[in-house]
Structure 1
Amino acid sequence: MSKVLVIGSGAREHALAQTFLKSPQVDEVLVAPGNDGMQETGLTRLPIDANDIVSLVQAAKDQQVDLTFVGNEDPLILGVVDRFEEAGLKIFGPNAVAAQLEGSKTFAKEILTANEIPTAKAVTVNSRQEAKDAILEFDWPMVFKLDGLALGKGVTIIKDQSSADEYLQSLYQKDPTAKLVIEEFLNGVEFSIFSLVGKDGQVVHAPMAQDHKRRYDHDRGPNTGGMGAYSPLSWLRDSDAVQTVDELVDPMLAAMADRGTPFTGVLYTGVMLTAAGPKVIEFNVRFGDPEAQVVLPQLESDFYQMILDLLAGKRPEANWQTDDVYLGVVLAAPGYPQAPEKGGQVPSAADLSPLTVNYAGAKATDEGLVANGGRVATVIAHAQDTQAAQAAVYDVLDKTYGDLVYRHDIGHWAVDLGKE
């Protein structure tokens, strides 16, 4: 029997651990550091920070781990894959150079532009004056993106000159040399595709998903790390899905290989379906959260064996369900994302039955689980279509006592587009 290490602490990592535990080959999954909501039989938490690479390598050796899977982006950008491979340990994820696809939006944009992969027009600036000059080349609205990692909160839609002036003054007062990407605003419907990329060009594409980044119903309020997601997407035409892979995903993977920095791991392609076809919004180098929580349960084959095969350069077996919709709603602490309040009561898995729950910022106390972060849990239902999944999840949530907040319209695009 095999042992797997999952690096990270959120609901995404909880979903990954649950998926590995389904494999008949896996008898234990370690999660570092995990959170107090992770209580499945066969799941063990290690009190090691996800960015403590030295300790993670040592733990993998001491625990005789057969495979490590990296959940979140920070350790990838810090080079956790490089260090594990140097130690002769099996790990799934991109090395530090390839991880710059997420670590630097400028890096990704340069490759997109050089290879004529459809994306928004953009320019990178390093000062307030450069920014003021650059915005003259764009129409309103436009998009400002912090170049580095921002936990899903680094994107701001700028609607007019006053908003631009206010944003730039605040940013460059804090950091006079901040790197900012100014980007054309794209109109359309946003969705994501996750491609698990192995050695020698083997790729498994997961079912596509749609995240809901805005904090409040009707896509209002500030961007967050994600307030809910659903998958698969009944409204997405097969031709658009094929075009996304053929014109966005495959060319990026080929470009990375051609420049001597081949990509291995999970490539997250954020897509805007515009009137001119799909265009890249962003790349991430790991599963999205909360998308992972609704995509991973759809896998009907052995996840552990699939990852081993990808690392070995073999064509893996990958069977995904196609009949039901999986829909997840994020429970967050009041005040999220600006100032989340800790200590609120968090429903237990029993309270939320028959739904599935993946925990994130949850802490165990004598009174039960309480909120210990911004996003606290993702609650998942599956049903024959999006409307039925909405009804199933909200029927439970709206009757469950709790101090947490959530959106009430996850999956609305599928319904609004008239496909269900």
Structure 2
Amino acid sequence: MKKVLIIGSGAREHALAQTFLRSQQVNQVIVAPGNDGMTDAGIQRESILVTDLHALRDFALAQAIDLTFVGNEEPLTLGIVDLFEAAGLTIFGPSKAAAQLEGSKSFTNELLNKYDIPTASSQTVHTLAQAETVVKTFGLPIVFKLDGLALGKGVTIIFDEAQAVTYLTRLYKDSPTAVLVIEEYLEGVEFSVFTLVGSNGVMVHAPLAQDHKRRFDQDKGPNTGGMGAYSPVRWISETTKSQAISELVTPTIMAMQKEGTPFTGVLYTGVMLTKTGPKVIEFNVRFGDPEAQVVLPQYTGDFYALILNLLNGRSTANKWQIDDVYVGVVLVSEGYPESPVRGARVPLPENVTPLTMNYAGVQAGMANGGRVVTVIGHDKTATYAQQKVYNKIDSLDTELRYRHDIAYQAVDSERQTL
């Protein structure tokens, strides 16, 4: 039997652990560092920070880990895959050079422009004066993206001149050396493509997902790491999905190979479906959170075997369910995202049976962070799945907060077809 190490601590890593444990080949999954909510049989937690790469490598060697799967983006951009591979360890994820697709927005934009992969027009600036000039050139609305990792919260949409002045003045006062990518504002429908990429460019595409970044109902309030998601996105046509893959995903994988930085791991392509076709909004080099919590349960095959096949460059059948829609709602601490209040009691798994819980910021049964738990349910339609999840959540005795309209796009689409 095999042992798998998952690096990360959130609900995404909890979902990954559950997915690997469904494999008949895996009897133990170790999550480093994990959190106190991961109490499933077969899951062990090891308190090693995701940034302590050498300690993680030494642990994997000492425990004779068969496969390491990196859930969190930070160790990827620090080069954990390079370090593990040098030690002869099997690990799934991109090299430090390839992880620049998420770690450096300027790198990504240069790559997309060089290979004519559709995306927003953009310019990278290093000073306040440069930023002010670009804003005047691009016009409003406009998008500001901090170069580097921002945990899903580094994007700001600017709608008026006063907002732009305030943002830029504060940024370059607090961080005089900040690198800012300024992009044209794209209008359209946003969705996510998750592609598992193996050696030799072998690819497996997961069902489409759509997340909800804004904190409050009706997409109001500040951006967050994600308040909920659903998958598959049935109202996005197969033609559009195929176009996004053939025009955005595949050319990017091929471009990375040509640049000498071949990509292996999970490529998360954020897509905006505009009037002129799909365009890249951003790339991440790992599963999204909360998208992973609604995508991974849909895999019906042996996930451990899938990853090994990909690492060995072997093509494999797509084994994703097609019958149900999965809806996940994130419960967060009061005050999230600006000032999360810790200490709220966290619901136990039996409180939502037969739904699934994936835990994130939990310590000793209490909320210990902003996003605390994702509650996931599924049914034949998005409408039924949404009702199932909210009926259960609304009955919980909890101080945690949540949006009440996750998957509203899918529900609206189903109503229009009745």
TM bin, normalised by shorter chain, reads: over 0.9
Cα distance per residue 1:335-393 (max 9 Å; x no partner): 000000000011010111121000000111xxxx1100000010000000111011000
The match for 2:409 among 394, 407, 413 is: 413
Taking the aligned partners of 1:274 and 1:335, their CA distance within structure 2 comes to 34
Shift of 1:317: 3.3
Deviation per CA, 1:69-101, whole angstroms, max 9, x where unpaired? 000100000000000000000000000000000
Query: Paired residue for 1:349?
Result: 349
Instruction: Give the count of matched residue pairs.
Output: 416
TM-score (norm 1): 0.98
Q: Residue 261 of structure 1: SS of its match in structure 2?
A: coil
Counterpart contact for 1:270–1:283, Cα < 8 Å: yes
Distance across 2 between alignment mates of 1:122 and 1:138: 9
**Distance in 2 between the 1:275 and 1:317 partners?**
33
Give the equivalent residue in structure 1 for 2:92.
92
Q: Give the equivalent residue in structure 1 for 2:48.
A: 48
Q: Which residue of 1 aligns with 2:373?
A: 377
Tell me what 1:309 maps to.
309
Distance verdict in 2 for CA 1:224–1:8, change over 3 Å? same
How does 1:18-417 map onto structure 2 within 5 Å?
18-364=18-364, 369-417=365-413
**Counterpart residue type for residue 62 of structure 2:** D
Distance 1:256 1:419 in 2: 41
Greater alpha carbon shift after TM alignment, 391-400 vs 313-322: 313-322
Instruction: String of CA shifts for 1:296-345, please: whole Å, max 9, x gaps.
Output: 00000000000001001111233000110000000000100000000001
Q: How far, CA to CA, are the matches of 2:412 and 2:217 in structure 1?
A: 14
CA shift, 1:415, in A, is: 2.2
Q: What is the deviation of 1:157?
A: 0.7
Query: Distance in 1 between the 2:309 and 2:316 partners?
Result: 5
- C-alpha contact (below 8 Å) 1:81/1:91 kept by paired residues: yes
Q: Secondary structure at the match of 1:350?
A: helix
Secondary structure of the residue aligned to 2:350 is coil
For 2:307, what is the secondary structure of its paired residue?
helix
Report the alpha carbon displacement of residue 419 of structure 1 after superposing the two structures with TM. Answer: 4.8
Query: Aligned partners of 1:11 and 1:415: how far apart in 2?
Result: 25
Unaligned runs of 5+ in 1: none
- After superposition, give the CA deviation of every residue in 1:236-267 in whole Å (9 maximum; x if it has no partner): 01110010000000000000001111000000
The CA distance in 1 between the partners of 2:48 and 2:251, in whole Å, is 37
Per-residue Cα deviation, 1:134-153 (whole angstroms, up to 9, x for no partner): 11111211111111111111
Output the CA distance in 2 between the equivalents of 1:353 and 1:416: 27
- State percent identity of aligned pairs: 60
Q: Give how far 1:35 is off.
A: 0.2
Q: Secondary structure at the match of 1:247?
A: helix
- Structure 2: runs of 5+ lacking an equivalent: none
Which residue type is aligned with residue 285 of structure 1?
A: V
Cα distance in 1, alignment partners of residues 175 and 326 from structure 2: 42
Which amino acid in 2 is paired with 1:283? F
How far apart are the structure 2 equivalents of 1:69 and 1:23?
14
Report the 3-state secondary structure (helix = DSSP H, G, I; strand = E; otherwise coil) of the residue aligned with 1:392: helix
- The residue type equivalent to 2:24 in the other structure is P
In the alignment, the residues of structure 2 paired with residue 419 and residue 43 of structure 1 have an alpha-carbon distance, to the nearest angstrom, of: 43
Runs of 4+ in structure 1 off by over 2 angstroms are 415-420
Structure 2 CA distance for aligned equivalents of residues 419 and 226 of structure 1: 28
Q: TM-score, normalised by structure 2?
A: 0.99
Indicate conservation of the 8 Å contact 1:235/1:419, yes or no: no
- Cα separation, 2, equivalents of 1:330 and 1:76: 25
Name the amino acid aligned to 2:316: P
Counterparts of 2:397 and 2:355 in 1: how far apart (Å)? Answer: 15
| Distance in 2 between residues matched to 1:242 and 1:8, nearest whole Å | 31
SS at match of 2:317: coil
3-state secondary structure, aligned to 1:269 = strand
In the alignment, the residues of structure 1 paired with residue 345 and residue 266 of structure 2 have an alpha-carbon distance, to the nearest angstrom, of 34
C-alpha contact 1:306 1:318 (8 A) present in aligned 2: no
Counterpart secondary structure, 1:102? helix
- Counterpart Cα distance in 2 of 1:237 and 1:266: 23
CA deviations over 1:50-80 (Å, ceiling 9, x no partner): 1110000010011110000000100000000
Looking at structure 2, the residues matched to 52 and 89 of structure 1 have their Cα atoms a distance apart, in angstroms, of 16
